[in-house]
Amino acid sequence: MPPPGAGVGRLRVGLMLPLLGVVALLGPLPLVTAASAAAPSPAVSGPAGSVAATAGVAANPATSRYYVVGAPRDGQREYLYQIAVQTLGDGNRYREIFELNQGRPQPDGGRLTDPLTALQPGWVLELPADAKGTSVQVGPLPTPSATRSAEPTADSAGPSATPYLVGAAVLVLAVLLAVGLWLLHRHRRARTPRPATAPAPVTSPTVDAAPADTATSQADTALRQADTALRQADTVPNQVDAALSQADTVPNQVDAVPSQADTVPKQLDVVVRQVDTAAVVPAQPVSAMGESRRVVVNLESLTGAPPDRLDVRLIGVATGFAAGVPCAWLRDEPFPAATLPLALGRQGGRRFVADLAAAPDILTITGTPSAAHRQARAMAEQLHAAGLMVTVVGDLFGADLPQGCRRVAAFPTAEPDIARLPGPGIIVSGGLSGVELTTARGLAARTGHRVVPVLVGEVVRTRWSVRVTEPQP
C-alpha cells in the first residue's frame, strides 16, 4: 500500500508537466521569428543579370520575326505549309521555316524534326526576314527558360513555422492534461473502500426421481411407436394402386414413339429450307493497318498499260474511327462496312481498298502531274460508279468532266455552301492556299466525314497520300 500523500505528490507532478511542456515549446519561437526576419529574400538576391536569365528571352538584342502556334481549330492542328501561306504568301516555302527551326527545343520540350508533322500549340517558330501579316511577331526570339523560379527554401519558410509549433504545443498540453486527470482519478479510486464479499449461497442436495416414473415414460414411448407402425401399414395399398396405374400408361407411351419419329423428316425439311433462304452476311475484312495505325505500300494502278506505280502512305485515322476498318486487302469480295470505299491499286492478285471516311483530313495525289491527274480521274470515276457523289473544283479535269461528276467554280468556304455539298462523296481540287486550305483541312470533321477533300497536283503530302510515278520505258 503506498504511503499517505504519495498520490497527492503524483497529482502535483502530473499537473506541472503540461505547463513545463508549453514553456519548452513556446520558448524558442521569438528566436525562429527573428532568424527568419533577418534572412534575405532569395527572390530579390543576386545581380540584375540573373533576373533576365529566368525571363525566358534570348539575350541577343537583335530583333527577329517569329510565329507562335495557336490552339487547334475544329480539331485540326497547324502545319508548316499553312503557316508559310499565311506569313510568306507561298506554301511551298515551308521548308525555309523548317530549316530555321529544325531541332530547336520548344517550350514543351519537343523538337521539330519532320516538316510534315502537325505542330504543337505554343511552339515558337522563327520566320524568314520577309515574313509579314497579323500573326507575325517581331522582337527577341523567345527560347525555353534556362532556369525555373527558385523554390522556397528552409529560411523562407521560417515565419510560417510559428503556427505549427503553437499547434504542437497545444497538442502536447492536451496529452499532459489527460495524464494528470488520469493520475487524479487513480488516486481517488485508491482511497475509496471496497465492499465486503458476500458469502456464497448454500445449495440444497438434489433428490433422484423415483424409478417408477422412468418405467411409465418408457411405456408411453412404446405405445407411440406402435401407433406409427400401424399408420405406415395403412399406406401400403395406396402405393400398390399407384404403381399399377403407372404400369397402365406404358403402352400409351410406346404407341406415341412412332408418331414422334414420323415428325423428324418434316422438321429436317424446314431446317433445310431455312438454310437455303437465309441471307449470307459477308464477313468483316481484316484491317491492313496494325496497332501502329500506319501503313506504307507500293502498288500498281488499276488502269493504264503499262500501269502507273503508286506509293501509298496512310498514317492515322479520323477521330471516332478507332473501331472500324480503315483499309484492307481484298480479292473480289466487297468492303461491306465502308462508307467511301476506294480501290487505290493492286499487288499481285489482291486489291488494296481504303475507306476514305477514315482519313484524318485530306487525301493528296501527287507525283508526275499528268500521271497524278490521270489517277485522280480514274478514282473519281470509280467512286461515281459505286453510287457515291463526286464534286470537281474548277477545270481540274479540263472541259471533259467525268460522267456523273458535279462542277463548282471554287472551293466552298461559307457554311451554306458547305452544307449543300452532296454526300457521301469527295470534292476534288488542285492546290489550295489561305482560307481555302484551312477550310479543306477541317471539312471532313465539319461534315462528319460525309465529304472528304482530295487535292491533286503539286501539293504537300498529307497523312493520307498517294504519289504517282509513270512506268519507265
**pLDDT band with cut points at 50, 70 and 90 for residue 180:** confident
Lowest mean pLDDT segment, chosen from 17-26, 239-248, 382-391, 442-451: 17-26
Would you state the pLDDT for residue 31?
37
Is 341:355 a contact under the CB 8 Å cutoff?
A: yes
Percentage of residues in the chain with pLDDT exceeding 70?
A: 63
Half-sphere exposure of 358 (CA within 13 A, CB side): 23
Distance CA 279, CA 462 (A): 41
Q: Residues 297-308: pLDDT tens digits?
A: 999 998 877 899
Distance CA 286, CA 328 (A): 6
Q: What is the SS3 assignment for 155?
A: coil
* Per-residue cell: 303: 488502269
Distance CA 187, CA 190 (A): 5
Could you tell me whether strands 124-126 and 341-347 are parallel, antiparallel, or unpaired per DSSP bridges? unpaired
Lowest mean pLDDT segment, chosen from 7-11, 216-220, 271-275: 7-11
Q: Which amino acid is at 222?
A: A
User: Helices marked H in 235-288 — which ranges?
Assistant: 236-277
Distance CA 239, CA 246 (A): 11
**pLDDT band with cut points at 50, 70 and 90 for residue 182:** confident
Distance CA 240, CA 230 (A): 17
* Per-residue cell: 208: 433422484
User: Based on the number of CB atoms within 10 Å of its own CB, is 426 exposed (0-12), middle (13-18) or buried (19 or more)?
Assistant: buried
Calculate the alpha carbon distances from 405 to 148, 207, 422 in Å.
60, 119, 11
Which pairs with CB-CB distance under 8 Å and at least 24 residues apart come from 286-292?
286/325, 286/328, 286/329, 287/325, 287/326, 287/327, 287/328, 288/327, 288/328, 288/329, 288/352, 289/314, 289/317, 289/326, 289/327
Could you tell me whether strands 294-300 and 309-315 are parallel, antiparallel, or unpaired per DSSP bridges? antiparallel
* Per-residue cell: 114: 519532320
**pLDDT band with cut points at 50, 70 and 90 for residue 247:** low
The pTM is what?
0.46
Quick one: three-class SS letters along 86-105?
HHHCCHHHHHHHHHHHECCE
Q: Residues 380-432: pLDDT tens digits?
A: 999 999 889 999 998 888 888 888 899 999 999 999 999 999 989 999 999 89
pLDDT, mean of residues 75-91 = 92
